[in-house]
Structure 1
């Protein structure tokens, strides 16, 4: 059966599921779009239309046109950065790669280290401790680097807001090249070069690059200058894909090409560390997908910086010994288990503080600093409101913020900069420090701006689906049709579908708190898994008719591959709702 996108005209919108989320099912694309693209399955056309590929040619380009990278020299200051590296190569200088402690930062750091080695540069690296030093360049670190004989610092995924620290380095005779992607109103005035597509004066054609993406543009430019030493910069695309997916940047333009090609490099298994971490995550590197990275590999790499020190993850990426990589991967896996528990503890405490205001603000000295961002993300998604979560360190609140679409965190923080010691971030993710005395003012400002938005932006948990399908459409053939649109990522999400009025056949608890479901109208060999939703078993009695929002995926268990529905939410069918009313 060819997958079809059902006509949704006249269907009620905005009904809440058992999770509390308000459902929004996309309206059907224009009929002329389907007519003009008869060679494509209608559901594929619908999904691409939903992702912003509005016209016939745009959709055809998605399938037929390669994603070409932009000229790296279009990035402001690129010529200055390349010239400064040429000086370092010529003069035999010592160079320090200064990276961030997340996957994006360590991927960029590993790539820049390896690039420097290929250029014959004397290179070292520095990654700050998340708790003791915090994000980005800091004065103590710069002083240590000065003593190490370094004459050039190259930042990786940080540095755009470090005006004071760059000036300190300059006073000590150290030049600084910033490679970063974070938004800022100004850049360090004494930096030798600032490579950032989001800097105020940048006119680079794509602003969605990750930190490792910006660093890769630098490598591309250096490869043009040193073709004999860097003949194949594409070999670094495994690291570019890793950091791009992990940092949840938009999967379009150059990023899409980086991830498509990078996954192919990853699957070749050249890096012992990535083979090992894939094995412990039960995500074999030979068949790795963007989902495997986002949900299996990246969390384990990030656990190093969250619970211990990111140097462990950096060492793993550069490890050549398979036995040593296996040992490091097991250590990261144990840290990730600890990280999950610490996150759950913080979320549980914060939930108890949620009131009637359309915000979440929760601070406790018991929260582990490395998980406040994860807790904020969980809370913002669960309640659909801005969430600020922090811990107390030496009398100062250090925290992270996450927000739903429509509430721009970086702009909010900028408008209330007087409340913060430091701050930085993007539209929907940010970090901050502030004095505890300013917490009431922060909450008041959040409530005021959130309430002002409520007329234009719905604040609350929401679920967006690509369309409705018939039960018979839920098949391996449909999965294959949709899978040709992969890889999935930010702005190009895995399609979420809705099947309506299906009858629950079985619902049983599996694992810690998961529901395994079957439905009478869906093929008997297709099961549905609803993660972390055991509390809804009582709503799923056999015979009850429900609507199910789900994504199609493959489940590999003991060598057997089966199609499964990954459930995101369930709601009573229209008939069940009528009976209750």
Structure 2
């Protein structure tokens, strides 16, 4: 087994399958119909949207130079590209700034305002940052520069004194959907500007889908239909940069899915901001020259390969330290190494959580000498709340329930570690540390058919906060089982109640157990269409397998 526990959310199904799946994802048929129809809330329902639109259009009319201040991740890069293209299209004098992760840090700061002013900007528009940037707002005011903040992160303190703060997650905002990404908020700003200009055409959704999926915001409500349409826009995109990105990632002329974006395109865009400079990714997205796009896409591919090597090496070093120092005695992992790149510590932390199923905080030394780190957590240990309780040890911190960034002086590391260990002992039980597989419901063998596949297709795309369905079937008899792919994977035929089913377990060679013919097993799985010798069959894609008691 990969998981110690299976939590079957609906063991005795009394509703139709589609209703079970929607209910388990916090919605129902009527709400889902609204998603399907593309329910879009007016952008002017966001606080300060009217002020932002007025300021920007005034700057366009008067020829005032604007600077877009974005972020170094895929969300901030796509949002910056989207807004940059629109403003140029309507005749604005606009430039952009993307901060360097190591040299500049996250979010607009006074130095970023000063840089924009040196570039001639009289108006700065942030994308995917700024909700906590009061110092930058004060510096902008002192320089006579107008500042408009667009962000989607939670408001942790007082609002910055900007001309407008557009963020559905500011404390006093009543916008109906709180899950927009940074590029999603930028898209809403563009819709508001278009409405004010009397333009009927909507901006493309290819970049919106890229940033939304890459930022792992919930794929529900507005995000669901924007990503659904955006995936089609990516597949049909005429952007040279996107076409070349698809090509170098091996996805050209293939079906574009959330997996394509989340595991192939997004990481390549993010690689630039993690270990190099995010401008490479932005230039790729807005490029209109095929030769330039080819060169930039190949560079991103090389950067992504380098990033993967950094993570693999860092993960191996972290696992060695965990084993050597007996860190699994505690319910939280805290690791620091000076030669880990600041751009990959979050990825190392995420992989440690996946492997050890406990919160992980991974730190390295920043150029200015302080320690900087990334935290990833599990349910039951809201990491930003925990860090808030230990803020006396920190210089900065911020994030969400399951992910955060922070910095501190070196002498504060041990007090922070002790505080985290104490909090984990108090808040987490041993059961919380057991990997648990969430299963939607039991599926009958006769339901493994194309009709069920049609239901799943209608509910796509699945993603973060709206996960792909996982089913379980108990007491299946193994007809045959063999290892494939040099022993890494498992191919099976299962039988229950006279129904023969094909199954595959990717990576199941690691289980060290291959069931024998006639064994009874319980399986947890997803479903997929599989072309076998010219005919479409439905195949079980295993999530877990265990010996059956039935």
Same fold (TM over 0.5): yes
1:269 is aligned to 237
Q: Deviations over 1:204-243 (max 9, x none)?
A: 2211111111111111110111124xx312x332111111
Counterparts in 2 of 1:365 and 1:408: CA distance versus 1, 3 Å: same
Deviation at residue 274 of structure 1 after TM alignment: 1.5
1:232 is aligned to 201
Counterparts in 2 of 1:561 and 1:52: CA distance versus 1, 3 Å: same
Distance in 1 between residues matched to 2:436 and 2:17, nearest whole Å: 22
Q: TM-score, normalised by structure 1?
A: 0.86
Distance in 1 between residues matched to 2:435 and 2:303, nearest whole Å: 30
1:529 is aligned to 505
Distance in 2 between residues matched to 1:116 and 1:29, nearest whole Å: 55
Distance in 2 between residues matched to 1:158 and 1:341, nearest whole Å: 29
Deviation at residue 188 of structure 1 after TM alignment: 4.5
Distance in 2 between residues matched to 1:508 and 1:442, nearest whole Å: 47
Distance in 2 between residues matched to 1:539 and 1:390, nearest whole Å: 40
Counterparts in 2 of 1:481 and 1:227: CA distance versus 1, 3 Å: same
Gaps of at least 5 residues in structure 2 are: none
Q: CA RMSD in A?
A: 2.7
* Partner-residue secondary structure (3-state), 1:574: coil
Distance in 1 between residues matched to 2:111 and 2:224, nearest whole Å: 38
Counterpart selection for 2:335 from 362, 373, 378: 362
Distance in 2 between residues matched to 1:188 and 1:525, nearest whole Å: 57
Counterpart selection for 2:106 from 127, 130, 135: 135
Higher alpha-carbon deviation: 535-544 or 110-119:
535-544
* Partner-residue secondary structure (3-state), 1:169: helix
1:480 is aligned to 454
Distance in 2 between residues matched to 1:551 and 1:76, nearest whole Å: 41
Distance in 2 between residues matched to 1:556 and 1:288, nearest whole Å: 18
Deviation at residue 446 of structure 1 after TM alignment: 2.1
Higher alpha-carbon deviation: 354-363 or 496-505:
496-505
Gaps of at least 5 residues in structure 1 are: 1-17, 35-41, 576-581
Distance in 1 between residues matched to 2:331 and 2:211, nearest whole Å: 32
Counterparts in 2 of 1:542 and 1:437: CA distance versus 1, 3 Å: farther
Q: Deviations over 1:71-99 (max 9, x none)?
A: 11111111111111122112211111111
Deviation at residue 147 of structure 1 after TM alignment: 1.3
Q: Please state if 1:195 is matched with 2:171.
A: no
Q: TM-score, normalised by structure 2?
A: 0.91
Q: Please state if 1:567 is matched with 2:508.
A: no
Q: Please state if 1:105 is matched with 2:76.
A: yes
Distance in 1 between residues matched to 2:283 and 2:534, nearest whole Å: 32
Higher alpha-carbon deviation: 92-101 or 383-392:
383-392
Distance in 2 between residues matched to 1:199 and 1:434, nearest whole Å: 26
Distance in 2 between residues matched to 1:300 and 1:526, nearest whole Å: 34
Q: Retained in 1: the 8 A contact 2:137–2:147?
A: yes
Q: Please state if 1:325 is matched with 2:299.
A: no
The count of residues paired between Structure 1 and Structure 2 equals: 540
Counterparts in 2 of 1:295 and 1:543: CA distance versus 1, 3 Å: farther
2:42 is aligned to 71
Distance in 2 between residues matched to 1:218 and 1:340, nearest whole Å: 35
Counterparts in 2 of 1:49 and 1:328: CA distance versus 1, 3 Å: same
Q: Retained in 1: the 8 A contact 2:380–2:428?
A: no
1:9 is aligned to none
1:11 is aligned to none
2:217 is aligned to 249
Q: Please state if 1:62 is matched with 2:32.
A: yes
Distance in 1 between residues matched to 2:6 and 2:206, nearest whole Å: 36
Distance in 1 between residues matched to 2:427 and 2:350, nearest whole Å: 20
Distance in 2 between residues matched to 1:316 and 1:156, nearest whole Å: 18
Distance in 2 between residues matched to 1:130 and 1:429, nearest whole Å: 17
Q: Please state if 1:458 is matched with 2:426.
A: no
2:6 is aligned to 23
Counterparts in 2 of 1:456 and 1:341: CA distance versus 1, 3 Å: closer
* Partner-residue secondary structure (3-state), 2:466: coil
Distance in 1 between residues matched to 2:366 and 2:537, nearest whole Å: 48
Deviation at residue 347 of structure 1 after TM alignment: 2.1
Deviation at residue 555 of structure 1 after TM alignment: 6.5
Distance in 2 between residues matched to 1:452 and 1:62, nearest whole Å: 39
Higher alpha-carbon deviation: 183-192 or 88-97:
183-192
Q: Please state if 1:306 is matched with 2:306.
A: no
Counterparts in 2 of 1:547 and 1:336: CA distance versus 1, 3 Å: farther
2:88 is aligned to 117
Counterpart selection for 2:193 from 211, 217, 222: 222
